[in-house]
Amino acid sequence: MKIKQVFAMGSGWMQGIAGAVLAPTLMVTLSLLSAPVAAQIRIGELNSYKAQPAFLEPYKKGWELALEEINASGGVLGQKIEVISRDDNANPGDAVRVVEELMSRERTVAVFGTYLSNIGLAVSDFAKQRKVLFLAAEPLTDKITWQNGNRYTFRLRPSTYMQASMLVPEAVKLKKKRWAIVYPNYEYGQSAAATFKELMKKAQPDVEFVAEQAPALGRIDAGAVAQALLDARPDAIFNATFGTDLARFVREGQTRGLFKDRAVVSLLSGEPEYLDPLRDEAPEGWLVTGYPWYSIKSPEHDKFLTAYQRRWKEYPRLGSVVGYVSMMSLAEGIRKAGSTDTEKLVEAMRGLQVGSPFGRFTYRAIDQQATMGAYVGTTAVNLGRGVMKDFRYIDGATVMPSDAEVRKLRPADAMQ
């Protein structure tokens, strides 16, 4: 036998042995590749969890509860939903990098979240550039859906314009001429102050704004602010501070007698996230927007309250509602679109109706702003804690400017 033939036989023998060994492994590998894999729709979420835990810990529990309910009922389009959540470090640059990662690495079909208005605006602009659907859950600045609005951004919570519009009619009834204003010096606070002044001037032409304090967010010198407002001797005060800034302002203001015989109108101060920490130091008689979860009686809210308390063994905050409804909104949008394609999602979200603990609401097609409303009432102290009393729910659809005004505010390309 020739050497070439020996090698040929050897080669065939080796190939046979290899085939015998490798074939089962190959078959297993192929069977694994062809085995059905549980399909999932991946949605991205980002927020300032470390910087704003009072609001965002309940918010996360809210969307987690909604996610569990959605998946327990079979998911959407026959698929379960998976949420990939990240912290944005309360920094616009970090937030944009997080969204880029969620899109490119995690392959998410949409993103939701953000808390601070300046971060919401940064993510909104990125969503426009990259053509990804973004649901701004918490940011309140009017620019989100108006001046800086775009086709790919929707917003859930009532804007500063909407919440100020809820308060101004009651503020006018106070018949106070000289007003002072205090707000955190960043996008939300600036927007809230400007909107309140604009609406008050329209409703009460003789109003005067005699003092304005704009401390840095989270760094209020409450004693100095309270004293400056006191020195201006206003008839009434409009406040837009929240969180630890609000607590410090309330305590210093009470110590110095700032609120004695003086009306206060305040955004967000009836929300349990900000009212509860004050306990029996909570201000009394302030006109506020908020969430009196302990006194709302409706089938929708009762169902949510029961489910939330059963799951988390605690009562909900407003953040809980925001997180819950954000997740439900995206699920409803995907269901209506019948797809996770971005353009189909955008069209489905425009005019989308969603159920919530506050009742049904709509994402308006004209500006992609939700009509979910808020509660307006006055603060009081009951059994050693701050509460809202004499409250009523105001539908967000009733405090919007006309469609003609919105078209002037919103960029033309955002209307497409």
Q: What is the pLDDT of residues 5-30, one digit of tens each?
A: 333 334 443 344 344 333 444 333 33
Query: Are residue 205 and residue 236 in the same domain, yes or no?
Result: yes
- The domain boundary, picked from 290, 323, 343, lies at 290
Query: How would you classify the pairing of strands 374-382 and 385-394?
Result: antiparallel
Q: List C-alpha distances in Å: 184 to 164, 193, 242, 252.
A: 16, 9, 8, 16
Query: Are residue 176 and residue 131 in the same domain, yes or no?
Result: no
Q: Are 155 and 370 in contact (CB under 8 A)?
A: yes
* Range list of H helices, 131-186: 160-173
Q: Are 187 and 219 in contact (CB under 8 A)?
A: no
- What confidence category does residue 149 fall into, taking pLDDT thresholds of 50, 70 and 90? very high
pLDDT score, position 414: 82
Q: List C-alpha distances in Å: 72 to 69, 75, 325, 329, 338.
A: 5, 7, 17, 17, 19
As a whole number, mean pLDDT of residues 181-204 equals 97
Question: Half-sphere exposure of 207 toward its Cβ, with a 13 Å CA cutoff?
Answer: 25
* Residue 395 falls inside a structural domain: no
pLDDT score, position 203: 97
The count of other CB atoms within 10 Å of the CB of residue 410 is: 20
Provide the mean pLDDT of the chain. Answer: 91
Q: Total domain count for the chain? A: 3
* Residue 401 falls inside a structural domain: no
* Residue 340 falls inside a structural domain: yes
pLDDT score, position 39: 61
Query: Are residue 73 and residue 184 in the same domain, yes or no?
Result: no
Q: Are 314 and 295 in contact (CB under 8 A)?
A: no
As a whole number, mean pLDDT of residues 126-144 equals 97
Query: Quick one: DSSP state of residue 277?
Result: G
What CATH number has the domain bearing residue 198?
Answer: 3.40.50.2300
Q: Which domain holds residue 312?
A: 40-159+297-372
Query: Are residue 171 and residue 286 in the same domain, yes or no?
Result: yes
Phi and psi, residue 15, nearest 5°? -65, -40
* Residue 154 falls inside a structural domain: yes
Q: List C-alpha distances in Å: 35 to 22, 28, 39, 146.
A: 20, 10, 12, 48
Please say if the pLDDT value at position 247 is more than 90.
yes
- Predicted TM-score (pTM) of the model is 0.89
Q: Give the position of tokens 């616009």.
A: 92
pLDDT score, position 22: 39
As a whole number, mean pLDDT of residues 402-411 equals 93
Q: What is the pLDDT of residues 71-97, one digit of tens each?
A: 999 999 999 999 999 999 999 999 999
Rounded to whole angstroms, the Cα distance separating 184 from 17 reads 76
Q: Are 78 and 25 in contact (CB under 8 A)?
A: no
8 DSSP β-pair partners: none
As a whole number, mean pLDDT of residues 370-385 equals 97
Query: Are residue 21 and residue 109 in the same domain, yes or no?
Result: no
CB-based burial label for 221 (10 Å; 0-12, 13-18, 19+): middle
Query: Are residue 223 and residue 309 in the same domain, yes or no?
Result: no
SS3 228: helix
Rounded to whole angstroms, the Cα distance separating 89 from 73 reads 34
Q: What is the pLDDT of residues 307-355, one digit of tens each?
A: 999 999 999 999 999 999 999 999 999 999 999 999 999 999 999 999 9
pLDDT score, position 413: 84
* Residue 326 falls inside a structural domain: yes
As a whole number, mean pLDDT of residues 139-160 equals 97
* Residue 155 falls inside a structural domain: yes
pLDDT score, position 16: 42
As a whole number, mean pLDDT of residues 247-275 equals 97
- The domain boundary, picked from 242, 270, 290, lies at 290
- The domain boundary, picked from 372, 395, 410, lies at 372
Rounded to whole angstroms, the Cα distance separating 409 from 394 reads 23
* Residue 399 falls inside a structural domain: no
Q: What is the pLDDT of residues 220-241, one digit of tens each?
A: 999 999 999 999 999 999 999 9
* Range list of H helices, 91-211: 92-104, 117-130, 160-173, 187-203
pLDDT score, position 21: 38
* Residue 80 falls inside a structural domain: yes
Instruction: Name the token pair of 57.
Output: 């810990």
Find the length of the chain. Answer: 416
Percent of the chain whose pLDDT exceeds 90: 89
Percent of the chain whose pLDDT exceeds 70: 91
Q: What is the pLDDT of residues 267-323, one digit of tens each?
A: 999 999 999 999 999 999 999 999 999 999 999 999 999 999 999 999 999 999 999
Query: Are residue 169 and residue 284 in the same domain, yes or no?
Result: yes
Please say if the pLDDT value at position 118 is more than 60.
yes
Query: Are residue 221 and residue 178 in the same domain, yes or no?
Result: yes
Sign of the four-CA dihedral 328, 332, 335, 337: negative
pLDDT score, position 2: 37
Query: Are residue 171 and residue 124 in the same domain, yes or no?
Result: no
As a whole number, mean pLDDT of residues 198-217 equals 97
Q: Are 190 and 219 in contact (CB under 8 A)?
A: no
pLDDT score, position 231: 97
Q: How far is CA 199 from the centre of its chain?
A: 24
Query: Are residue 73 and residue 112 in the same domain, yes or no?
Result: yes
Query: Are residue 165 and residue 285 in the same domain, yes or no?
Result: yes
pLDDT score, position 354: 98
pLDDT score, position 26: 37
Query: Are residue 49 and residue 125 in the same domain, yes or no?
Result: yes
